């Protein structure tokens, strides 16, 4: 089967400086880039967000704040439609799939160059996939474990692993490349559209080495200029972008403004142009303001209270079930989301293939929770730490308030909660290593496939990566592996439904809500389309 090229037309954004009043630290370098005096006449867009990126080597992190930036710098072989996960051409304009599902040939765009002036070609694609798949590759920059955890999750492991599905990568010609699989992979094309598997300049990998995470070089519509940590990231227009007339913006500034209220004040004053993670309580006011526009993303996420199942007493399933019964999900949804969320039963959002609506989940029942704690050997409860995110996220706009409700809920069954706070980057790093006990986090879909949620969050091979619960169930792993490798979508749906039953019973987390994240822009921002993945392309955006 062959898919023909679909080119998208463009849009522009503009204006503004770098928020000295509302932002965090890192003042050096931030007051000049994007200042109104220097940007007069230019299209400069300022995008305010709650936290900083953790890495600009996109495949090394699953952090949404990183991918929203790298989305502008890099491109993958395939892409997604503006408002869905339907696969469309990217750096590959066509592709063929063999009847047995074991061979994928991609026909690449010609005449494309990286931001450093070197040519994009099939060899560059091969170099990138080999560095992600081989822990010993010269460009596999890592400190502990594998450098690229999502690669292992999405492609069945790494070079040399029994379940690694990519057998070989063949450069057929300068602009034709073939992936040969060991067995079919139902989500292969969806994976190829993910921004985590975009293509970096091989020369940049050689030049920057491990510092590539601070010096990104892609083929995308914007080029990296500077990064002032915990303050701003500045991008500029790629004058040689492969799509004629795009982008319209001359510069994009991603500005860190941790406080939701401060971001909204800055938006209303014209200091910023777009803000993510609008507090649901502010939605009505934004809608009533003619100078602003409000956008709603779909329920493509889950916010949860995670258990580190490797630590006592959370290694006891009865304790985890007791905590599940003690949490008032409806109260959290009502108090924090103003109608823009639904209480969650499964880690997988409703509407996804294989969602199991027959799983009952855990109803709020404090008496049942106390019974389970007594049965587990904790009739008088215990003390425990709850780690709380320092930034608002699309799935959790106010982590502090969520933590306070959970703290109050658990106090009623004898569990005394101490709230622990960390900065965002250390929070992600330390929870992946297992320093936490209870913790708040969430997950947003990046490719529209159930595997991205269930394998990332609950598969044993994802422990130490995105599986911060350290939950490892052999039966569940087998189901998820079978679903990943099947190309029969009905079979995959059945297997994912079975997997959700096991996850619910074992209770590695309290699934709290599926939210409808809110984004606000100044009315001058045109052609902006928020994507369900939360990583929005700005290639067609412009400022009126």
Residues 252 and 347 in one domain: no
Residue 291 counted as domain residue: no
Residues 489 and 385 in one domain: yes
Residues 251 and 348 in one domain: no
Provide the domain limits for residue 103.
Answer: 11-256+519-543
Residues 202 and 310 in one domain: no
Angle 110-114-120 from CA coordinates, rounded to 5°: 35
Residues 471 and 524 in one domain: no
Write out the DSSP string of 315-345: TSHHHHHHHHHH--HHHHHHHHHTTSEEE-S
CATH of the domain at 230: 3.40.190.10
Residues 141 and 221 in one domain: yes
Residues 509 and 529 in one domain: no
84 vs 49: CA distance, rounded Å: 22
Residue 280 counted as domain residue: no
Residue 311 counted as domain residue: yes
Residue 46 counted as domain residue: yes
Predicted local distance difference test score (pLDDT) of residue 500: 98
CATH of the domain at 329: 3.10.105.10
Please enumerate in sequence order all residues whose Cβ is within 8 A of that of 244, keeping only pairs 6 or more positions apart, or say none. none
Residues 336 and 475 in one domain: yes
Predicted local distance difference test score (pLDDT) of residue 394: 82
Query: Could you say which residues of the chain have pLDDT below 50?
Result: 1-39
Residues 537 and 510 in one domain: no
179 vs 170: CA distance, rounded Å: 7
pLDDT digits (tens, 9 = 90+) for 523-543: 999 999 999 988 999 999 999
107 vs 78: CA distance, rounded Å: 11
114 vs 240: CA distance, rounded Å: 9
Predicted local distance difference test score (pLDDT) of residue 2: 38
309 vs 315: CA distance, rounded Å: 4
Residue 261 counted as domain residue: no
Residues 324 and 389 in one domain: yes
Give percent helix, percent strand, percent coil of the chain, each to the nearest 5: 30, 20, 45
Residues 324 and 451 in one domain: yes
Residue 75 counted as domain residue: yes
Predicted local distance difference test score (pLDDT) of residue 143: 60
Residue 67 counted as domain residue: yes
pLDDT digits (tens, 9 = 90+) for 181-223: 999 998 999 999 999 999 999 999 999 999 999 999 999 999 9
26 vs 360: CA distance, rounded Å: 48
> What are the distances in angstroms from CA 453 to CA 63, 300, 384, 399, 513?
14, 10, 27, 21, 14
Residues 450 and 476 in one domain: yes
Write out the DSSP string of 386-418: EEE-SS-BTTBS-HHHHHHHHHHHHHTTTEEEE
By the 8 A CB rule, do 525 and 273 touch?
yes
Number of domains composing the chain: 2
CB-count burial class (<10 Å; 0-12, 13-18, 19+) for 111: exposed
What pTM did the predictor assign? 0.80
Residue 523 counted as domain residue: yes
């Amino acid at each position: 089967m062959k898919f023909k090229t679909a080119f998208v037309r463009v849009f522009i954004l503009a204006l503004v400086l770098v928020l000295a009043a509302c932002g965090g630290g890192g003042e050096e370098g931030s007051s000049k880039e994007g200042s109104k005096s220097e940007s007069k006449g230019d299209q400069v867009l300022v995008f305010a967000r709650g936290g900083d990126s953790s890495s600009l080597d996109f495949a090394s992190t699953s952090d949404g704040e990183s991918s929203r930036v790298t989305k502008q710098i890099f491109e993958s072989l395939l892409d997604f439609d503006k408002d869905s996960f339907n696969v469309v051409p990217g750096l590959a304009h066509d592709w063929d799939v063999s009847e047995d599902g074991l061979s994928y040939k991609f026909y690449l765009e010609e005449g494309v160059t990286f931001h450093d002036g070197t040519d994009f070609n099939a060899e560059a694609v091969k170099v990138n996939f080999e560095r992600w798949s081989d822990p010993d590759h010269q460009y596999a920059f890592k400190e502990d474990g594998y450098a690229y955890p999502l690669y292992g999750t999405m492609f069945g492991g790494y070079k040399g692993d029994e379940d690694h599905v990519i057998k070989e990568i063949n450069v057929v010609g300068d602009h034709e490349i073939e992936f040969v699989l060991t067995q079919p992979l139902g989500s292969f094309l969806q994976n190829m559209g993910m921004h985590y598997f975009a293509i970096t300049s091989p020369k940049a990998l050689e030049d920057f080495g491990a510092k590539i995470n601070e010096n990104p070089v892609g083929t995308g519509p914007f080029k990296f200029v500077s990064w002032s940590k915990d303050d701003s990231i500045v991008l500029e227009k790629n004058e040689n972008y492969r799509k004629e007339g795009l982008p319209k913006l001359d510069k994009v500034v991603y500005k860190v403004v941790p406080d939701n209220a401060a971001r909204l004040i800055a938006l209303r004053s014209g200091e910023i142009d777009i803000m993510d993670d609008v507090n649901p309580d502010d939605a009505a006011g934004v809608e009533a303001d003619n100078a602003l526009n409000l956008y709603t993303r779909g329920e493509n996420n889950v916010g949860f209270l995670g258990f580190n199942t490797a630590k006592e007493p959370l290694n006891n399933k009865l304790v985890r079930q007791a905590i599940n019964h003690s949490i008032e999900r409806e109260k959290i949804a009502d108090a924090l989301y103003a109608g823009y969320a639904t209480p969650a039963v499964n880690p997988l959002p409703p509407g996804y293939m294989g969602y199991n609506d027959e799983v009952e989940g855990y109803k709020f029942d404090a008496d049942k929770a106390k019974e389970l704690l007594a049965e587990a050997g904790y009739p008088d409860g215990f003390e425990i730490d709850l780690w709380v995110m320092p930034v608002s996220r699309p799935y959790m706009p106010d982590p502090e308030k969520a933590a306070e409700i959970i703290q109050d809920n658990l106090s009623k069954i004898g569990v005394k909660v101490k709230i622990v706070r960390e900065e965002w980057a250390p929070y992600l790093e330390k929870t992946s290593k297992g320093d936490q006990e209870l913790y708040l986090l969430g997950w947003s879909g990046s490719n529209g496939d159930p595997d991205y949620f269930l394998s990332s969050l609950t598969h044993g091979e994802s422990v130490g990566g995105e599986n911060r619960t350290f939950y490892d169930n052999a039966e569940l792993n087998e189901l998820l592996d079978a679903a990943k490798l099947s190309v029969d979508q009905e079979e995959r749906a059945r297997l994912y439904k079975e997997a959700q039953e096991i996850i619910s019973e074992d209770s590695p987390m309290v699934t709290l809500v599926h939210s409808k994240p809110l984004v606000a822009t100044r009315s001058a921002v045109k052609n902006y389309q928020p994507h369900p993945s939360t990583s929005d392309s700005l290639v067609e955006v412009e400022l009126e």
